[in-house]
Amino acid sequence: MENDSSSSLRALRILSYLATQASPVSAVRISEAAGSPRSSTFRLLRGMQSLGYVAHLPEQKSYVLGIAALEIGQAFAIQVPLARFGRPVLERLVLKLGETAHLAVVQGHETLYIHEETAPSRAPLVTAKDVRLPAHLTASGRAVLAGLGDQQLKALFPPNYSFVQRTGRGPATFSELQQQLDAVRRQGFAREFGEVAEGLTSVAKPVRDRTGRIVASIAVTYSYSTLAAESRPGSGNVPAQEPILAALGPAARELSRRLGWEP
C-alpha cells in the first residue's frame, strides 16, 4: 500500500508528463512514464479526474490535462512572470502606437485581463485589470484558445455551452469558433471587430512560456470609426492594422522571452 507522499509524487509526475504531451495519452503510457504500477495509476487518474486535474476521453481510452490543471498554470503566469514583466512591455507598446494595450490570460471559458495600459489620449476601456469577458468574443481570448487542441476546446465548450454575444456579433456555435481559431492559427494573430464594444476593434498576438505553450496574449484596441470602409473584416488587408501588427509581434516575443521561451 503506497503512502500519501508517494501518491502525491506520482500524481505530480503524471501532471508533468501530460503537460508535455500534444495528444491524448493512454493509461498504460502514463503508468510507464510515472514509474507507477497500473493499478495505482488507475486509482490516481480516477481521483485526479474527480478534481478536474485530468480529463478522460472514453472514445480514445486516453487522458489529457483537465481544466483545473490548466488554471493552476495560468494562475502562476498571472502571479509571477506576467505581473513582473508585462507592464514595461505594454508601456513601450503604447508609447510607440498611441493606442491602448492590454495583457490577458484565459481562465476556463473567460478572458481575464491582467493589465491594461491606457494611451494618454484614449478613454478607459471595458478591458480593465481583473475584468472577465467571454473568451470566444475577445481577440485576447482567441489568441490563447488557438493554442489548445480540439479535445481541450471541447471540454471548455461542451455541446450545451451558450455562446453569448454582446453586440450581436461573434461565434454562435462551436463550429463557428473552430473556424475563427483556424484563421488565427493561419494568420498568427487574432482579431475581433465590434464584438466586445461597438466602434472598437482589437488585434492580439500570443505569448508563450518556456515550453512554447501559449499562456497569454497582448492586444491593442483602437477605434474603427476612423478606418476606411475597406478595413472591415472580409474585405482584404487593413491598412491601419499593419503598423499595429508590426509592433505587437516584437512585444509578444519580448514578453515570451522573459518567460523563458527560446524560439
Per-residue pLDDT, 152: 87
31 and 100 co-located in one domain: no
Measure the CA–CA gap between 103 and 257, rounded to whole angstroms: 15
Which of 65, 94, 114 corresponds to the end of one domain?
Answer: 65
Measure the CA–CA gap between 168 and 210, rounded to whole angstroms: 38
Range of the domain at 96: 69-258
- Confirm whether 263 is domain-assigned: no
Per-residue pLDDT, 218: 97
Measure the CA–CA gap between 178 and 195, rounded to whole angstroms: 17
Per-residue pLDDT, 220: 95
203 and 229 co-located in one domain: yes
28 and 84 co-located in one domain: no
16 and 59 co-located in one domain: yes
pLDDT in tens, the chain (263 residues): 455 567 778 888 888 888 888 788 999 999 998 888 888 888 889 888 888 888 888 888 899 888 777 777 666 655 566 767 898 999 999 999 999 999 999 988 899 898 888 888 776 666 656 678 999 999 999 999 999 988 889 888 888 889 999 889 999 999 999 999 999 999 999 999 999 988 899 999 999 988 888 989 999 999 875 444 334 444 443 446 889 999 999 999 999 998 888 87
Kindly report the CATH number assigned to the domain that includes residue 21: 1.10.10.10
Per-residue pLDDT, 131: 79
The neighbouring-strand residues paired with 203 are 191, 220
- Confirm whether 136 is domain-assigned: yes
Per-residue pLDDT, 210: 81
Measure the CA–CA gap between 32 and 35, rounded to whole angstroms: 5
27 and 12 co-located in one domain: yes
Total of domains in the chain: 2
- Confirm whether 146 is domain-assigned: yes
Kindly report the CATH number assigned to the domain that includes residue 174: 3.30.450.40
Cα separations in angstroms, 76 against 53, 206, 219, 249 = 16, 17, 20, 23
Per-residue pLDDT, 213: 87
Per-residue pLDDT, 80: 60
Measure the CA–CA gap between 134 and 77, rounded to whole angstroms: 20
38 and 73 co-located in one domain: no
86 and 164 co-located in one domain: yes
- Confirm whether 199 is domain-assigned: yes
12 and 108 co-located in one domain: no
Per-residue pLDDT, 130: 63
